[in-house]
């Protein structure tokens, strides 16, 4: 067995060069997915490229445009940030759901996205708030919407030499807020059976003028569900609109049967969580 190298590049450019030169090299952020996969023999990287010494990857900054979140900032640091909790409560609550306190000291939102599990908790929350992924690679930087990042279970758009540098989240306008809910069989430390993230905007009269609904764990990738958003827009987010959103979300789900839940159950719960998350987001939006 060849020894695996450990590399700790200090800049984005250095990391791109390392990843481009060696196809078997893997980025390590918190390692809470990668090291579990490595130790169980699922992955055998030739090198661990630790990106936590690159300042861009560890940055958290909030300005008039919104949030810039370095891909390797630990979940605990994201959740401890009171401004993030106020401006993007749904993203914050999704972040706080990942693992235990210890896991949150390591796990990152970048890793959650790049691991590309359909059940990743922060992904639907990020899609709902319209987050963008900033990717660096041999031919420079590119940016794309989070909903276009994951292409299948464990698969994403990253090509050779590319890695995720940061996430950009637009600043919510007035009366705009978000929420994320997931179902697990207990209160801590489990993988989502269903997840639902909703962000929406109300006008002064309380009518919904914009909405984004995303569901997780019920399809090969987290999905943006425009039909569910359409059911909310133009309404006062009343019971009829919520029921419409629930129905649209259930219809968009294409879950699998496994030990965590059957197809019928997951489909049903997708609607229920969508409806509840939309009601919470609306309540929060009224308070902003």
Partner 1 sequence: MPKTHVETTINGEPQEFLCEPSESLLAALRDGLGLTGTKEGCTTGDCGACSVMLDGRLVPSCMVLAPEAIGRSIETIEGVAQGDSLHPLQQKFLEHAALQCGVCTPGFIVAAKALLERNPDPSEEETRYWLAGNLCRCTGYDKIIRAVLDAAAEMREATA
Ligand X SMILES: Cc1cc2nc3c(=O)[nH]c(=O)nc-3n(C[C@H](O)[C@H](O)[C@H](O)COP(=O)(O)OP(=O)(O)OC[C@H]3O[C@@H](n4cnc5c(N)ncnc54)[C@H](O)[C@@H]3O)c2cc1C
Binding site for ligand X (CB under 6 A): 26-34, 36, 51, 71-72, 97-99, 103, 106-108, 110-112, 114-115, 120-121, 158, 163-164, 189
Q: How far apart are CA 131 and CA 112, in angstroms?
A: 14
Identify the burial level of 275 via C-beta atoms within 10 angstroms of its C-beta, where 0-12 means exposed, 13-18 middle and 19 or more buried: buried
Give me the helix-helix angle, 263-286 and 89-97, nearest 10°. 140
In the region spanning residues 223 to 262, those forming contacts with partner 1, defined by CB under 8 A, are none
Judged by beta carbon distances under 5 to 8 A according to partner kind, the member of partner 1, ligand X, none in contact with residue 39 is partner 1
In angstroms, the Cα distances linking 93 to 13, 79, 167, 183, 220 are: 33, 8, 17, 13, 23
Q: Are 132 and 146 spatial neighbours (Cβ–Cβ below 8 Å)? A: yes
The binder of partner 1 chosen from 14, 17, 35, 168 (CB under 8 A): 35
Pairing relationship of beta strands 5-7 and 47-50 according to DSSP bridges: parallel
Give the residue from 249, 67, 285, 68 showing the smallest Cα distance to 174: 285
Q: What is the size of the binding site for partner 1 (CB under 8 A)? A: 28
For residues 16 and 239, give the distance between their C-alpha atoms in angstroms, rounded to a whole number.
Answer: 50
Quick one: what does residue 76 bind among partner 1, ligand X, none, with the CB cut-off 5 to 8 Å set by partner type?
partner 1
Say which residues have a Cβ less than 8 Å from residue 251's Cβ, sequence separation at least 6.
227
Site map 79..108 versus partner 1, x via CB under 8 A: --------------------xxxxx-xx--
Of 78 and 127, which CB lies nearer to partner 1 in the complex structure? 78
Rounded Cα–Cα distance for residues 132 and 153 (Å): 20
- Contact characters 106-125, partner 1, x per CB under 8 A: x-------------------
From the list ligand X, partner 1, none, pick the one residue 114 interacts with, judged by a Cβ distance below 5 to 8 Å according to partner type.
Answer: ligand X
User: Residue 178 binds what, of ligand X, partner 1, none (CB under 5 to 8 Å, by partner type)?
Assistant: none
Q: How far is the CB of 110 from partner 1 (least distance, A)?
A: 16
- From residue 162 to residue 191, the character string flagging contacts with partner 1 as x (rule: CB under 8 A) and all else as - is -------------------------xxx--
3-state SS track over 26-54: EEECCCCCHHHHHHCCCCCCCEEEEHHHC
Q: Are 149 and 110 in contact (CB under 8 A)?
A: no
Site track 36-75 with partner 1 (rule: CB under 8 A), x = hit: x-xx--------x-x-x---------------------x-
Q: State the virtual CA torsion across 136, 132, 221, 73 in degrees, nearest 10.
A: 70
In the list ligand X, partner 1, none, the entry touching 3 (Cβ below 5 to 8 angstroms by class) is partner 1
Question: Where does this chain bind partner 1 (CB under 8 A)?
Answer: 3-6, 8, 28, 30-32, 35-36, 38-39, 48, 50, 52, 74, 76, 99-103, 105-106, 187-189
């Amino acid at each position: 067995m060849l020894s695996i190298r450990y590399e700790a590049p200090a800049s984005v450019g250095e990391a791109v060069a390392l990843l481009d030169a060696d196809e078997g090299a893997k980025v390590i952020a918190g390692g809470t997915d990668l090291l579990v996969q490595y130790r169980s023999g699922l992955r055998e990287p030739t090198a661990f490229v630790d990106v936590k010494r690159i300042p861009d990857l560890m940055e958290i900054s909030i300005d008039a445009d919104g949030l810039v979140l370095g891909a390797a900032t630990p979940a605990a640091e994201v959740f401890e940030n009171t401004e993030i909790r106020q401006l993007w409560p749904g993203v914050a609550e999704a972040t706080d759901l990942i693992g235990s306190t210890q896991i949150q000291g390591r796990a990152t939102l970048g890793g959650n996205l790049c691991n590309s599990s359909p059940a990743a908790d922060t992904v639907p929350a990020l899609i709902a708030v319209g987050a963008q992924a900033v990717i660096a690679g041999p031919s420079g930087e590119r940016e794309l919407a989070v909903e276009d990042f994951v292409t299948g279970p464990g698969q994403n758009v990253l090509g050779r030499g590319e890695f995720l540098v940061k996430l950009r989240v637009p600043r919510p306008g007035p009366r705009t807020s978000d929420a994320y809910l997931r179902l697990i069989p207990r209160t801590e430390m489990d993988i989502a059976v269903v997840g639902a993230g909703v962000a929406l905007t109300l006008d002064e009269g309380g009518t919904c003028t914009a909405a984004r609904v995303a569901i997780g764990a019920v399809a090969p990738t987290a999905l943006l569900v425009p039909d569910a958003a359409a059911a909310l827009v133009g309404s006062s987010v009343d019971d009829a609109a919520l029921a419409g959103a629930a129905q649209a979300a259930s219809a968009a789900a294409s879950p699998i049967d496994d030990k965590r839940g059957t197809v019928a159950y997951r489909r049903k719960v997708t609607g229920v969580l969508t409806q509840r998350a939309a009601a919470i987001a609306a309540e929060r939006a009224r308070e902003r």
